Amino acid sequence: MPDDARRALLTRFFDHAPMFPPASLPPADALAEDRRARESEHAWMLGRLVWPAAKLSELPQDEGRALAVVDAGTERQDEAVYLEATPLDEVAARGVRAKIRCGGERVPSVGELADFIRSCRSRGLVFKATAGLHHAYPTAEGEHGFLNLLAGAVFGNEEEALSERPRAFALDAASFRWRDQEALPARLADIRASLIHSIGTCSFFEPVEELGWLGIL
């Protein structure tokens, strides 16, 4: 069990998807970028390499990389299966996990995303989020913030957490804090295991650098 709240909340949190938009790197360049991420000092936050099923033949067999393989709205990670755009009752009935797209052609509203988090919590579903989560806080262009998403999962009050302004949250070795609420490492590790697994991002370095600017790393 991590005794550092940052490790409890962010270990293997960023699934790396360099072949997907907006980066859309070709396989060789995507692998080079992923190797660079693996060699960085913050590699402990690096999750799986997200790879399209149609391009598996272009992945070297000796790469030795844990994968999330995406095919037509289904994402597979070893024994875990994530379904996108599927009713949550069906996801629960099938004993798999949920996935929500937070950007791209359509950005869900704060209300929709809040309802998704609540619904996963009430059904005991683990979920991951993908697309449009490059920044820690919401942007002027309407993107959601990944720290806001984490706060909604950890603290509840999802609409308020998802709408919070920059620097509303504090995260250091001791705890994750919002207003008068505080979550210690054990609580954060539990939320990562039982509710929010990870996010997918085409860039590993962009969100990590932002955490540095915020003084979290």
pLDDT reading at 1 higher than 80: no
pLDDT of residue 78: 84
The alpha-helical segments, DSSP class H, found in 164-213 are 185-194, 205-213
Closest Cα partner for 15 from 34, 31, 2?
34
SS3 state at 20 = coil
Closest Cα partner for 22 from 127, 108, 132?
132
- Is residue 90 very low, low, confident or very high in pLDDT (cuts 50, 70, 90)? very high
pLDDT reading at 88 higher than 70: yes
pLDDT of residue 91: 98
When pLDDT is averaged across residues 122-140 and rounded to a whole number, the result is 95
Distance from C-alpha of 20 to C-alpha of 103, rounded to nearest angstrom: 12
pLDDT of residue 79: 87
| Mean pLDDT rounded to a whole number for the chain | 95
- Is residue 72 very low, low, confident or very high in pLDDT (cuts 50, 70, 90)? confident
Closest Cα partner for 146 from 124, 171, 173, 174?
171
pLDDT tens digit string along 135-185? Answer: 999 999 999 999 999 999 999 999 999 999 999 999 999 999 999 999 999
pLDDT of residue 96: 98
